[in-house]
Amino acid sequence: MKKKAVLFSRMESYDAVARDYAAVFDDIELRIFEWPWIRKLVARFRPRSILDLGCGNGYLSRALGGMAPEIYALEPSPVMCSIARKNLGGAVILRQGAAESMPFGDRGFDMVISLLSFRYMVWDRALDEIHRVLKNDGVFILVDLFAGSFNPRYLHKYAVSWAAAGIQYAGNREYYKKLRILTGSENWRLMLREHPKRAVEDAQKALAEKFHIQGIKLLSAALKGSMVGFICRNKAVIN
Ligand SMILES: C[S@@+](CC[C@H](N)C(=O)[O-])C[C@H]1O[C@@H](n2cnc3c(N)ncnc32)[C@H](O)[C@@H]1O
């Protein structure tokens, strides 16, 4: 009973920032580091069914339409879910729920993608569920921000990431304005404090229990953290 109450409060926490967040990230092309990488992987693996886990306003699910016959999206926040429902219409099967207890049967998906939602999950329970809903040879693509400190090895990556983000801000003042409203809000600060960035090594260790990690890509880097992508193959379940 107590456990459920804790999970419920984690799920609800995105409600407070949902509208501001959805207003900023209304186009997947704004994800200049993440989306080209994800798109390439979807084209490479050619999944029939994809689950967009923690879909937010649904901009990734919408962009995936046409790349796979079946797109599913799962989102726990009721406010985000209603925004996604409006954005997605009927083309994507959208369900409300959390990664730790998914409303899907076993081994139904060729691919699960978590774009910037993993940080908010209870990792061991979510990974058990991702393992369960993926087919035996299914692929889990994880992209998220992980904690970091200055590393001289990444000097080139810092410079490229900083320049690319700068060009993006300069070329899209409206986006920058909305981003500042979001990141300046007390609710955003509270939410990030409640869900601090975790170490990439911890994610790697957690993933390795249920998946074969086939690739790790540093997508962008900043002094306070890095955007990292993982390509994971589900470990087969043998009955
Ligand atoms: C930073 S937003 C990312 C949304 C979207 N994937 C995107 O790229 O814009 C984080 C999302 O994770 C969702 N989330 C939070 N806890 C979750 C959980 N336990 N299971 C699945 N999604 C969760 C939030 O409601 C929110 O929509």
The number of the ligand 1 atom at minimal distance from the alpha carbon of 18 is 27
The number of the ligand 1 atom at minimal distance from the alpha carbon of 55 is 6
More confident call, 3 vs 188? 188
Determine if ligand 1 sits within 6 Å of the CB of residue 58.
no
Label residue 116 left, alpha or beta by phi (over 0 means left) and psi (-120 to 50 means alpha).
left
Look at residues 114, 1, 14 and name the one whose alpha carbon lies nearest to residue 60. 114
User: Where is average pLDDT lowest: 7-11, 161-165, 174-178?
Assistant: 7-11
User: Where is average pLDDT lowest: 4-13, 39-48, 69-78, 88-97?
Assistant: 4-13
Distance (Å, whole) CA 117 – CA 187: 17
Q: How confident is the model at residue 239 (pLDDT cuts 50, 70, 90)?
A: low
- Report the amino acid identity of residue 7: L
Determine if ligand 1 sits within 6 Å of the CB of residue 80.
yes
Determine if ligand 1 sits within 6 Å of the CB of residue 191.
no
Q: How confident is the model at residue 1 (pLDDT cuts 50, 70, 90)?
A: very low
Q: Using most ligand atoms within 8 A of CB, pick from 96, 101, 117, 125 the residue to mutate for ligand 1.
A: 117
- In this structure, the dihedral spanned by the alpha carbons of residues 183, 186, 187 and 189, taken in order and rounded to 10 degrees, is 60
User: By percentage, how much of the chain surpasses pLDDT 90?
Assistant: 77
Residue 10 reports pLDDT greater than 90: no
What pLDDT score does 32 carry?
94
Residue 66 reports pLDDT greater than 70: yes
Third-level CATH fold of 2-234: Rossmann fold (3.40.50)
Angle between helices 173-183 and 155-171 (to 10 degrees): 110
Q: Where are the chain's structural domains?
A: 2-234
What pLDDT score does 4 carry?
41
Asked whether 108 and 131 are in contact (CB, 8 A), the reply is: no
Q: Tens digits of per-residue pLDDT, 70-93?
A: 999 999 999 999 999 999 988 899
What pLDDT score does 5 carry?
38
Distance (Å, whole) CA 179 – CA 20: 8
Determine if ligand 1 sits within 6 Å of the CB of residue 232.
no
Q: Tens digits of per-residue pLDDT, 114-146?
A: 999 999 999 999 999 999 999 999 999 999 999
Determine if ligand 1 sits within 6 Å of the CB of residue 77.
yes
Q: How far is the CA of 152 from the centre of ligand 1 (A)?
A: 31
